[in-house]
Structure 1
Amino acid sequence: MGSNKEVIIIGGGVIGLACAHYLIDKGANVRIIEKGKIGEGASHGNCGLLYFSDVIPLCSPGAVTNEIVRTLKGTSPLYIKPTLDIKRLIWLLKFASKCNADHMAKAAKEKYEILNYSISLLDTLLALDQMDCDFEKKGILSVFKDQKNFENHESINAFLKKYNMGGRRIDKKELRKLEPALKDDIAGAWLNKADWHLKPDMLMSCWRKHLSQKGLIIEEHCNVLKFETRGNKIVGLDTVKGRFKADEFILATGAWAPRTLRQLNLDLPVQPGKGYSITMERPDICPTYPCSLYEKSMVATPWQSGYRLGGTMEFSGYSDHLNPKRLSKLISGATVYFKEPVGHPIIEEWTSLRPMTYDDLPIIDHAPSHENLIITTGHGMLGLTLATGTGKIVADMVYGKTPEVNIKPFGISRFR
């Protein structure tokens, strides 16, 4: 199984738990240090989509132009707060430079490898007895209000078919029977059976319990004050709960990774992209499928235990302020598509930060200056989907095993 290495994971989101899972399987003694509560960040209130077909990067041809047009129309889900933050401006310019066909083809291939790797690992994880998280393999409906957008998706689907990730076209007549919660004036939808969904907060709770029973030690409300280094190694962490030592360290703090790494003089081009969601009881006419609402760039996810609307992308720094206007856009957006867009009562209004890279690929690599520190962040909106693959890769790296997926595309050196 491997030696009993002492490993500290900084960050208790879904990526941190996944790393812990596969490290414990290899015989490691693992401690998670989390500045808040386990799973309370981006892992908590997302829409629970396991989007294995999401191989096309956000920075695809036409992405910038489309958002400029939608912004002028007042229909864009994107909001960029005016700022003199040079790093954010540079990030946005580099994102724009990646919006070309060559990068789309290259990034899609690289994303597919880790997405495909994560599928069987996640299936095995969710088959465990304790993982009760409203998990279903029904697929996801991409729903279109506009006929032209519906027809144009044919070319996207053709691209996905190259990776065996294509969906099935559902015309208006069939859609009325398949998903009666949708309004009658919907143009059509594409059903992708490669995708699954679950309730993320339930997963985090079950997974935490499972790993705790296997020996995981968790330190919550435990801010890291200082990295203690010796040469090119980290030997310990000073925290608000005292000093902790380990052989290996993993940084999995999501959007907060750049701030965590400041004292090590490491700079990562990761920007916090704020997302919002509203969780409520199921409406009387509730969708049976998770629905990606194309024109509004948002999602409606039904579970046995509830219903959630989520989406938007806001670049406004590290603020955790709940903007009522952004929340209201979720309600108004769902109203365009559903007969009963809202359930009552509303259980939770939520926001958190996603770790965004400008090439829409994750970062999984050894820190260039510290040989026993692995950095994993930048999963964007696919943290839940890529968690198992990332966790297994990191565990292999800790134990000196070559990962089963080529991780060169996810290296830090690509930013230099």
Structure 2
Amino acid sequence: MKEVVVIGGGIIGLCSAYYLQKEGHKVTVIDQSSMDFGASYVNAGYLTPSHIIPLAAPGVMKKGIQWMFNSASPLYIKPRFNTEFLKWSWAFNKSCSSENVARSISAIKDINLLSRDLYSEIKKQEQFKFHLERKGLLMLCQTDSMLEEEIRVGEIAKKEGLPVKSLSLSELKQIEPNVQLQAKGAILYECDGHTTPHLFMEEIKEFLLNKGVVFSKNEKITDLTIDNGKITAIKSTTTTYSADEFVLAAGSWSKVLSKKLGIKLLLEAGKGYRINSDRDLGITMPTILAEAKVAVTPMQGFTRFAGTMEIAGINHNINKVRVEAIANAAHKYYPDITLTDDEKNDAASGLRPVSPDGMAYIGKSRKCKNLTIGTGHAMMGWSMGPATGKLISEIISDKKPSLNLDVFNPDRRF
């Protein structure tokens, strides 16, 4: 049995704590927030083996530069004269290659499939009640060019063994009969699932507390004591913590802490937004509005519209232009749906940690023997949460990891 401190109380940190306590370890979770908001609560709730293409793919940087002057664009990279941001941008540009996509596809698929199944396993094993469905995911397209692009991605997914269908507008209407659609057609990924995130987060927090996991909320880590390549203690604003092992799962803030250890994690915060509507809108299928890059999820008791990737530093400021872009996209694809001012004014944001190649950092760095890292998941943190937690627990418990972690190596070069 080891004493383990998990830094970060989001989906990655809590899933790490879940699997670590299953192995008999004594676990403390430290978070600088009240652990009831942020990316783990405002995401689209997707479990997406279908998302096999990493964020860093051919043409993305070119689009990012084109969109740089449009604050309503799906991907907005705010230019900044900051050394770390410039290093990240250079590495991101280098990673936007077919080679990066080719080496990432199988790894992304495998960790997503494992994670999707672990959500079901957790629910069954612990008799959780959180909302979990596997209805698939629609990629809804309004233009022939986007439909062709999504068909190409679907063919790659088929080669990876994932079940994929192309749907005409008439076939779409059979799946979504209660809502008007403005589209040419869609791709259906039958392998995907969806959840209502806050329900899972509330349930797993209660479960962990009942199992003796200690939560230290509103505790900001201010310093780390290192001796002979190992962390011996970490200090917060009020307390000093010691442990045998430490987990760094602090999302977009992981870069700040890793720097104190001499680990150069290239990481930028990618802000996403969500708008909730508790009206009955008639939408029953999780759907990505392909051209707009907006996710639509029928959750338990409401429908969520989520999207945008805003790389503009660490902040939770609400950019109303980007909220309006999500609302406009919803109306464009579903002409009979107009989100209200109250719904838009209630919008929230969350920060997703984005690595330059779009792949997570999972594993140990050679620079610190008793630190295991789990961050950098970009838009797939929710989808990959349980699998990442299980892998971190296996590493700390000296077990062979369930997946090959080479592609997720925190020390990889860009």
In the superposition, the TM-score normalised over structure 1's length comes to 0.94
Whether contact under 8 Å (1:134, 1:305) holds in the other structure is no
Conserved? CA contact 2:87–2:266, under 8 Å: no
The residue that corresponds to 2:329 in the other structure is 333
What secondary structure is seen at the aligned counterpart in 1 of 2:38?
coil
CA contact (8 A) 2:42 2:348 kept: yes
- Which residue of structure 1 aligns with residue 105 of structure 2? 108
Q: Percent identity?
A: 30
Do structure 1's residue 260 and structure 2's residue 257 form an aligned pair?
yes
Provide the residue aligned with 1:415 in structure 2: 413
Unpaired runs of 5+ residues, structure 2, are none
Q: 1:130 to 1:35 in 2, by over 3 A?
A: farther
AA at the equivalent of 2:326: L
Distance in 2 separating the partners of 1:28 and 1:172: 53
- Measured after TM superposition, the shift of residue 130 of structure 1 is 4.7
1:174 and 1:341 map into 2 onto residues whose CA distance is 24
- C-alpha distance in 2 between matches for 1:365 and 1:94: 20
Give 2:209's aligned residue: 212
1:290 is matched with 286
1:317-332 paired onto structure 2 within 5 Å: 317-332=313-328
Output the CA distance in 2 between the equivalents of 1:140 and 1:29. Answer: 38
Query: Aligned partners of 1:47 and 1:376: how far apart in 2?
Result: 20
Matched, 1:399 2:411: no
Aligned partner of 1:235 in structure 2 is 232
Tell me: CA distance 1:72–1:11, structure 2 relative to 1, closer, same or farther (3 Å).
closer
Match of 1:135 among 132, 136, 141: 132
Secondary structure, aligned partner of 1:370: coil
Q: SS in structure 1 opposite 2:42?
A: coil
1:239–1:65 Cα change, 3 Å: closer
CA contact (8 A) 1:34 1:220 kept: yes
Contact 2:111-2:384 within 8 A present in 1 as well: yes
Matches within 5 A, 1:41-190: 41-68=38-65, 76-128=73-125, 130-190=127-187
Q: 2:41 aligns to what SS in structure 1?
A: coil
Q: Shift in Å at residue 51 of structure 1? A: 1.1
Mapped contact 1:158–1:166 kept (Cα < 8 A): no
Structure 2 CA distance for partners of 1:70 and 1:146, relative to 1, 3 Å: farther
Q: Which residue of 1 aligns with 2:33?
A: 36
1:354 counterpart letter in structure 2: R
- Alpha-carbon spacing, 1:328–1:344, altered in 2? closer, same or farther (3 Å): closer
Match of 1:382 among 380, 404, 411: 380
3-state SS of paired residue (1:412): coil
| One-letter amino acid of the counterpart of residue 394, structure 1 | I
Distance in 2, Cα, partners of 1:184 & 1:251: 43
Q: CA deviation at 1:69?
A: 5.2
CA drift at 1:252: 0.4
Q: Which amino acid aligns with 2:333?
A: Y
Q: Deviations over 1:46-82 (max 9, x none)?
A: 1111112111112222223344556678873111222
Distance 2:397 2:265 in 1: 25
Distance 1:356 1:232, change over 3 A: same
Structure 1 distance, partners of 2:285, 2:122, is 22
In structure 2, the residue matched to 1:10 is 7
1:270 deviation in Å? 0.7
Q: Which amino acid aligns with 2:217?
A: E
> Counterparts of 1:241 and 1:137 in 2: how far apart (Å)?
44
**8 Å Cα contact 1:117-1:405 kept in structure 2:** no
Aligned-residue offset at 1:230: 2.4
1:352 corresponds in structure 2 to 350
Partner of 1:310: helix, strand, or coil?
strand
Q: Which consecutive unaligned segments of at least 5 residues does structure 1 have?
A: none
Q: Given residue 310 of structure 1, which amino acid in structure 2 is its aligned partner?
A: A
Shift of 1:39: 4.6
Whether the 8 Å CA contact 1:249–1:372 is kept in 2: the answer is yes
* Corresponding pairs, count: 412
Give the AA of the match of 1:278: I
1-structure distance, mates of 2:316, 2:182: 37
**Contact 1:53/1:160, CA 8 A, preserved across alignment:** yes
Whether contact under 8 Å (1:296, 1:333) holds in the other structure is: yes
* TM-score, normalization by structure 2: 0.94
Shift of 1:102: 2.0
Asked whether the equivalents of residues 67 and 73 of structure 2 are also in contact (C-alpha less than 8 Å), the reply is yes
